[in-house]
Structure 1
Amino acid sequence: MKVVKLGGSLLEQPEALKAMFQSLKQTYDKTLLVHGGGALVQQWLATAGLHSEKQDGIRVSPEQHMPYIVGGLAGAANKTLMKYAIAQGIKPMGITLYETGISCVQRSETLGQVGVCEIPEVMPAVGLISDLLAHGYLPVISSIGFGENGDWFNVNADDAAVAVAATYNAELLFLTDVEAVLDGGGKPLSHLNSDTIHELTQTGVIKDGMLVKVRGALEAAKRLRRCVRIGSWNLMNNPFSGTQISE
């Protein structure tokens, strides 16, 4: 089984989405797709006249913002992905983290309804996910979670993907809008670890948005205690493409 974390930027690239779902047609019975959609949420909040701010890259999510955040992530973004999946002959099922068996708790009061996933100690042997896969459905999981009392939470999509991968002991792929992490000469790097990431960061080769992606992938590799890959939708067809990230 593999967990594919879809970068929010791909939601605005129809051709990339089409290609990704085309490549999933042969293996989606063993795939869980996790997504965010920060740009869409920002747009919805702005349209509603609500000021949104971030702390250390995390969107502060007060209760009054949550209908727009949930609507953007579990609604519009999720159903957009379903639309592209259906067009390629795939049977998608849009769900939240709750349906995967993962419960969430509040990260901190200052961040509002920002959630942290509680990874189950034992992998769910039966349940909705196994049933969906057995019946040929592709679970499309938004990064919206729920607590034991029904409180809803906005979860960082990278963290959500790591939690799902850890819960189901699955391979984790981070899909972005680039084919791989590039070296100083613009050539793809096949493998990175903590040391090489630090070196390339210090020399300015890895920076800006890619630095955020690489650090997230490295943190995921440490938490999962296994390599993860970061790259474009080509990872679906070629498991050795992109960049492998290890501790």
Structure 2
Amino acid sequence: MQTWVIKVGGAVLNTEDAAMGLFTAIAELIKVQIDKQFVVVHGGGALVDKWLSEAGFATAKHQGLRISPKEQMPYIVGALAGTANKQLSGQAIKAGLKPVGTCLYEAGLIATQKLKALGQVGECEQGEASILPTLLELGRTPMVSSIGIGADGQLYNVNADEAAAAIAEQLNAELIYMTDVEAVLDANKQPLHQLSEQHIATLIEEGVIVGGMEVKVKTSLHAAQHLRRGVYISSWQKPENLIALVQGIHVGTKITP
């Protein structure tokens, strides 16, 4: 059985029927490709921004990572592990999947603080045994939010791209980042079909890859090196891209180790 980890950007919730289209594609793949199983990892940055703004908080980022003070965590956790997770689960059910919402602890990952200056921003370490293999054996589709829990009981906001990479490494799975752009773009806004470590370093140095895409590409490269295989970046706006990738057709950008 081949496992695919699909990271979905939270912006998918802002586009009507986008999540439904993506989950319908996964449901079709499960029917046709009986040797394939899927784990969905999601963020929800736009929803977090909305909730924090309505609560009177300013949002700040550092190198694409949301600074997460403790006083903001109830809103961040509620948005990601609560509303976004259940909205996506609802769309998955409608598409014919059998989702189970979890956070990173249940997925076998312990969160630790990344940098003190970032507040409750976490990074993943291997923790207790993951429930994901058992859920997959039961024919369920894990829907994993990027909220982590530390050994100290603290709640952490983990970058969803990093969370997806950690889960893919743990499951020895294929990894696809489904974002709001069809591929990583060059300086002329043209899609790049493949990126190596050297090419990535050059584009970051030249300021072509910045912000959230810089985090995504660096995380993709790190994952590709650990998985020893290509990692893909493509668009959730085209669910057919996911079908193509699972069937071995190259679309979007492939990050090579």
CA distance in 2: counterparts of 1:226 and 1:160, whole angstroms? 18
- Which of 234, 250, 254 is the matching residue for 1:244? 254
Deviation of 1:188 (Å): 4.2
Using the aligned pairs only, state the percent identity. 46
- Which of 159, 162, 167 is the matching residue for 1:159? 162
User: Do 1:119 and 1:166's aligned partners in 2 also have CA atoms closer than 8 Å?
Assistant: no
Aligned length: 243
Distance 1:67 1:210, change over 3 A: closer
Q: Deviations over 1:75-125 (max 9, x none)?
A: 1111111121111111111110011111111223332221111035x9x5x
CA distance in 1: counterparts of 2:134 and 2:60, whole angstroms? 39
* TM-score, normalised by the number of residues in structure 2: 0.84
* 1:1-247 map, 5 Å: 1-27=3-29, 30-119=37-126, 124=129, 128-182=131-185, 188-199=191-202, 210-233=213-236, 234-239=240-245, 240-247=250-257
CA distance in 2: counterparts of 1:201 and 1:54, whole angstroms? 18
Q: Deviations over 1:185-219 (max 9, x none)?
A: 76643322123334555677656765554344223
* TM-score, normalised by the number of residues in structure 1: 0.87
Corresponding residue number in structure 1 for 2:33: none
RMSD between aligned residues: 2.5
Deviation of 1:144 (Å): 0.3
CA distance in 2: counterparts of 1:157 and 1:43, whole angstroms? 18
* Counterpart amino acid of residue 10 in structure 2: G
CA distance in 2: counterparts of 1:204 and 1:152, whole angstroms? 33
Deviation of 1:64 (Å): 1.6
CA distance in 1: counterparts of 2:59 and 2:205, whole angstroms? 32
Unaligned runs of 5+ in 2: 31-35
Distance 1:142 1:187, change over 3 A: same
User: Do 2:234 and 2:253's aligned partners in 1 also have CA atoms closer than 8 Å?
Assistant: yes
Unaligned runs of 5+ in 1: none
CA distance in 2: counterparts of 1:214 and 1:129, whole angstroms? 25
Deviation of 1:7 (Å): 1.7
Q: Which moved more, 1:200-209 or 1:227-236?
A: 200-209
User: Do 1:162 and 1:224's aligned partners in 2 also have CA atoms closer than 8 Å?
Assistant: no
* Counterpart amino acid of residue 116 in structure 1: E
* 1:115 alignment partner, SS class: strand
Q: Deviations over 1:114-165 (max 9, x none)?
A: 1111035x9x5xx521221122211000000111232111111111111111
* 1:9 alignment partner, SS class: helix
CA distance in 1: counterparts of 2:226 and 2:53, whole angstroms? 35
